[in-house]
Structure 1
């Protein structure tokens, strides 16, 4: 449920200021949609052995980088022109932080695409693709929900994403143990399985960045920084 009492961005006397804040939010969500698609396509390229799709994802990283710079510039200009205070300043600062997380998600998609191309060239699919699909679906859901929480200023949904991060870590550790066991049973699979392990690591990092975005949503809505704090403490902040 959206925090209605805190959903007050865009109520300024200056319509121009309202438009600038709305444009900042829109561009952030547009970039979020792009990196979400990049991760999804990178996973599909890996699982389907689709090297050309992997190349498309790698090429798309430049667009992600360009969007990050454009949004940073837009946010900086808002601070310089409007000198925002309180909730507006929290929004602008949070976007600057979150856009860096989105750019890093794009980097992780590029890494996955690189391994997708490598494994497609090698031909034989190694073990671990089931785990890739499972963890990939999980972190993509987290990223999608984090963007939705931002769009709706929903601190409760953001808190749920923070709680999911621990589950992703557990799934990643379990998948890693499975692949290590398989490599010990047949050393011929070491190289290919190591590539899959790097993909799993990249997906786990996507989950971390989704969690970072969720933490910044709570900062926007509640005005308290919940980074580096236990989930239980964040829960108290959201409940206030």
Structure 2
């Protein structure tokens, strides 16, 4: 949560902004959950639902960004308040892009359903990594709402597990396509889905990094995990 100010209107502006970011985050979570369920069940209704939801996400991103600009112009914030506003703008960009990844998943799911032709690829790692990505996105949004830097640092660490699942799946997929070239087409579709899930994890990690930026005043986007953890636990700047 943003810090309290002498101006109750400023507090209300910041709290409303946060609530809108979390609302957008909730929609992205739903989009990803529907995309994963569509992949599991090959449910065309869910595919269409995800594609339709993308327009709402785009509108939310534009409106929240406009509100960030308006608050900066009216209040001329400094220090942590300015960091919060800048981080909010970057977080909604990451959320919109995570929503784009959900769209990519359902579009590839539709291709798989149409062209599978009896061929099968074991995609257990994709389903596991998808659930992991959705889980850390939820945790990242919760950490941002509470400005919990300890939780944020843990999310960055956990994102590595998604990367490892992706690498394991790619190795297995290459072996499968080598042994049976007929699986190449469907294998490439699953590869695009796996990459989309990995990117969702990356966007969740980015949001977690902005928690540390707002709370501690440290830009940790391109530092080692160990340095990020030290910054997350260190003293905050105004």
Q: TM-score, normalising length from structure 2?
A: 0.95
* Residue 27 of structure 2: aligned partner: 34
Q: Contact (CA 8 Å) 1:143, 1:210: kept in 2 or not?
A: yes
Q: Contact (CA 8 Å) 1:128, 1:196: kept in 2 or not?
A: no
1:48 is displaced (CA, Å) by: 0.5
- Report 1:91-240 matches (<5 A): 91-123=84-116, 124=118, 126-240=120-234
Partners of 1:139 and 1:206 lie apart in 2 by: 6
* Residue 83 of structure 1: aligned partner: 76
Q: Contact (CA 8 Å) 1:135, 1:203: kept in 2 or not?
A: yes
Partners of 2:119 and 2:90 lie apart in 1 by: 38
Does 1:54 find its partner at 2:42?
no
Tell me the SS of whatever aligns to 2:120: coil
Q: TM-score, normalising length from structure 1?
A: 0.94
Q: Contact (CA 8 Å) 1:61, 1:107: kept in 2 or not?
A: yes
Q: Which runs of 5+ in 2 are unaligned?
A: none
Tell me the SS of whatever aligns to 1:235: helix
1:17 is displaced (CA, Å) by: 0.8
1:163 is displaced (CA, Å) by: 0.8
Tell me the SS of whatever aligns to 1:106: helix
Q: Contact (CA 8 Å) 2:140, 2:205: kept in 1 or not?
A: yes
* Residue 67 of structure 1: aligned partner: 60
Partners of 2:36 and 2:178 lie apart in 1 by: 26
Aligned length: 233
- Report 1:20-31 matches (<5 A): 20-31=13-24
Partners of 2:54 and 2:181 lie apart in 1 by: 34
Q: Contact (CA 8 Å) 2:149, 2:233: kept in 1 or not?
A: no
* Residue 19 of structure 1: aligned partner: 12
Partners of 1:26 and 1:32 lie apart in 2 by: 10
Q: Contact (CA 8 Å) 1:132, 1:200: kept in 2 or not?
A: yes
Residue-by-residue CA offset, 1:171-206 (whole Å, 9 max, x unaligned): 100011111111111111111111011000000000
1:128 is displaced (CA, Å) by: 3.5
Partners of 1:91 and 1:184 lie apart in 2 by: 49
Partners of 2:11 and 2:154 lie apart in 1 by: 29
1:120 is displaced (CA, Å) by: 2.0
Q: Which runs of 5+ in 1 are unaligned?
A: 1-6
